[in-house]
Copies of this chain bind each other. A is one copy, B any other.
Amino acid sequence: MDARRYAALPDPFPMWRGGVLRGARIAYETWGTLNARRDNAVLIFTGLSPSAHAASSAANPADGWWQGMIGPGLAIDSARFFVICVNSLGSPFGSTSPASDDPATGQPYRLAFPDLSVEDIARSGHETVRSLGITRLDTVMGPSLGGMVVLAFVAMFPGAARRMLCISGTAAAAPFAIALRSIQREAITNDPAWRKGEYSADAPPVMGQRLARKLGTVTYRSAAEWQERFGRAPIRADMKRHDPFASEFAVQGYLESLARRFVSAFDANCYLYLSRSMDRFELSAHGDPVELMRGARLQQALVIGVQTDLLFTITEQQALANMLASAGVPTRFAPLPCIEGHDAFLVDIKTFGGEIAPFLNAT
């Protein structure tokens, strides 16, 4: 079962930091119906790792990464809105990425893929929307990397969205987040199996990827949550590895099982490209942020942050909301007290829905 559709990008598709893609495409899924005025579309950009499958649908009834958030009568109400979720350019779930074949060679791009920027993800999402005949979105939204893409989107395409919803994003990555992400990338590039990106499909750099994902997972959650959830419970016997220096506690088994699941699904080079794009993004490269937001022709904005977020701190969320308010955009700031850290938007559907629904449903 596959609900994906594909939008062809302009050919050639120019990349923000140079280079072009030929014959590139974006995978996306939709929920609900575009109305006759074509003014009820909501575009969702994802975090670093999800696919376009944000929620179940007739074409693909499997749970999506934001299951419970999108659907008829839910916070992102598909009975009212035409909801589009794009798989980011550079991600391996159907969109053109370092794992795709380069039409010039018939071989996977790997490191020959041009530099990937948050701006490229924004532009490819914009082209996808245009290919559907939509000239102005009701709302553009996204969490984490998606929140960064949303900021690039409204800066680059003034008037392309009436409203903006940024969840745990940032206008420029903080050095702490850069440090944590660059260590993850180094875990992958240190793995001899990475082979400067030339690993074969059946021998990817799994040790490095597992390590990277474990660290990623730690940074997405919080100490308070894990104290409550795992405490010092011992590891389940079937998760214990024969390694004298690991795997004694339940929390280690949890990291291991998440990491294994991720490694089997996500291409290592794609991870490196997407991760680096987050470090490099700077909204101010487009001009003065307040002027950019003033020029974006937004009618409303909602900025959601989480108080326990280590990676995109609540201070950064407050700064984003202040910037939007300074630009004259009517902005609500929601600093949520969830204990799940950066990932709270994936877990605490009720609290996030309680902010998202009234924003989207306001007339």
Contacts and interface: CB of A to CB of B under 8 A. Distances in A.
Given A232-B282, A280-B248, A215 B174 contact: no
A331 interface: no
Interface in A180-205: 180, 182-183, 185-192
Contacts of A189: 243, 245-246
Contacts of A179: 214, 218, 226, 251-252, 255
Contacts of A214: 179, 183, 186
B244 A111 contact: yes
A199 to B, nearest CB: 14
Q: Chain A interface mostly helix, strand, loop or mixed? A: helix
Nearest to A312: B223
Contacts of A249: 175, 178, 182, 279
A190 to B, nearest CB: 5
Interface in A146-194: 172-180, 182-183, 185-192
Interface string A240-263: 000111111111100100000000
Contact of A175 (B173, B174, B183, B227): B227
Contacts of A190: 191, 207-208, 211
A207 B183 CA distance: 12
A128 interface: no
Contacts of A248: 279-280
Given A232-B175, A243-B189, A245-B189, A211 B183 contact: yes
In the complex, the 4 A-B pairs of residues with the closest C-beta atoms, listed nearest first: A176-B223, A175-B251, A175-B226, A175-B230
